[in-house]
Amino acid sequence: MSRQPSRTGGRPKGGPKGGPKGGGRGRTQRAQPSETLEVLVEGLGAQADGLAAWTGQTLYIPAALPGERVRVKTGPKRNDGLGCTLLEVLQPASQRIQPICEYYAQCGGCALQHVDETFYAQWKRARVTEVLAKRGFADVPVLDPVLIQPGTRRRVTYTVQRRGKRLDLGFNARASHDIVTIESCPLLVPSLNAVIEPLGELMRQVLEDGERARVALTACDNGVDMVIEADKHPGLAAREAIAAFAGRGYAARVSWKEPDFPAEPVAQVQMPKVDLSGVSLELPMGAFLQASVEGERAILAQILLGVGKAARIADLYCGVGSFTLALARQAIVRAVDSLEPQVRALERAAGRTNLGGRVLAEVRDLDRQPLDPAELNKFDAVVFDPPRAGAAAQAQQIAQSDVPKVVAVSCNPATFARDARILVNGGYRLIDVLPVDQFIFSAHVELVARFERETL
């Protein structure tokens, strides 16, 4: 460590400035919750927290940057140390900038609004390179990240709670269940910001005192699709309020989701639709979409580069077909996913266009029943885009196949690296990895990776 942190208020009693000791017996004095300390930030952790050392403990400091000297208040135990609250930046880093959001200091939705673009891009890239190196891919080219701009996010989930006459609607505070109430979010597309105020008025009518809910919104081409997740069944008054909300044009569809039950539509003015590579798709309730259109296009461009001129492609974990429909313009595509509503929506969308005969949609749980080598060998390329848990079972089967080209999309570098190691051990070469900043200002990063089978 380059410098030893010191407590606010001068030299710790019982030891020299460079090495605090407690009780006069030479024992290390460990930080406790609710202490105020001055420390030097020496790194940035995986969750974008500043990291500082204090007598063998790691201090995790949100919104702090390497090289900064800061004053912090220690909090609860976290991993090998303590979480902290940043009280003051005493010596700011040159990369520090003014956040674009007025709620940034409290809101837990973003972690990296306080850094300049150069530092930000380097850190996002490093998130990928460090994880790959742990799996033996230190020499694999990791390309410069594709940075997505604010005002583009088309999906958001709010936490809402009614407390008497007060309604809190927004995002959880950092490391807390408290809600930071917002009036707008600079990350969101305009249509999602426009609905915040009327949504608050609706939830005042829907929730009783003390009740809490989550509201997921997706900006579609013809309106907002909304799913309310709550622990109760909606009564008549709630249903009437929701119908009026949709009728005033604030949502194309509003659905209700109770624990252990599928979502059910409560009000629908029109079927929510999204454009996927020039094809209009009717969006199933709660269906997954890429966070931004811009990010989706960047991922798709790299996928098309990876599959080359393949005429037969397997699109695994296809969802509603974010990439399937574009691939089908050049190839016959077998699109597979475990979620039937999404697969059927893709099938119908392809059928309403001239792509109907080029998309072979199938409902199948690829974690329990992955495509085997005999099935895979029918394809010139395989694309897979699994959930955060990755695709270990399917990767094992691909590794035993003869498919010439493979493209992997992932929102979790750690599970991707595990799956990539399976493919490379099976004879594939990892060509390159492209980070895509789909989750802007967060610690998360999406990536696209190209593989080719090694030839003797």
> Residue 387: exposed, middle, or buried by beta-carbon count in 10 A (0-12, 13-18, 19+)?
middle
**Cβ neighbours of residue 15 under 8 Å, at least 6 residues apart?**
21, 22, 29
Told to judge if 411 belongs to the known catalytic residues of this protein, a careful annotator would answer yes
Q: Which helix (H) or strand (E) holds 301?
A: helix 293-307
Please count the other Cβ atoms lying within 10 Å of the Cβ belonging to residue 249. Answer: 12
Interatomic CA distance for residues 229 and 232, integer angstroms: 9
Instruction: List, in sequence order, every residue forming a beta bridge with 86; answer none if it has no partner.
Output: 72
* Catalytic residue, candidates 185, 220, 318, 411: 411
Query: DSSP string spanning 368-395?
Result: TSPPPHHHHTT-SEEEE---TT--HHHH
Cβ 251 vs Cβ 228: under 8 Å: no
Interatomic CA distance for residues 342 and 300, integer angstroms: 19
Please count the other Cβ atoms lying within 10 Å of the Cβ belonging to residue 122. Answer: 14
Interatomic CA distance for residues 92 and 68, integer angstroms: 5
Give me the phi and psi of 302, to 5 degrees please: -70, -35
Where on the phi/psi map is residue 434: left (φ > 0), alpha (ψ -120 to 50), or beta?
Answer: beta
Read off the tokens for 234.
Answer: 């909606």
- What is the residue whose two structure tokens read 């005969």? 357
Please count the other Cβ atoms lying within 10 Å of the Cβ belonging to residue 388. Answer: 11
Active site amino acids: 411
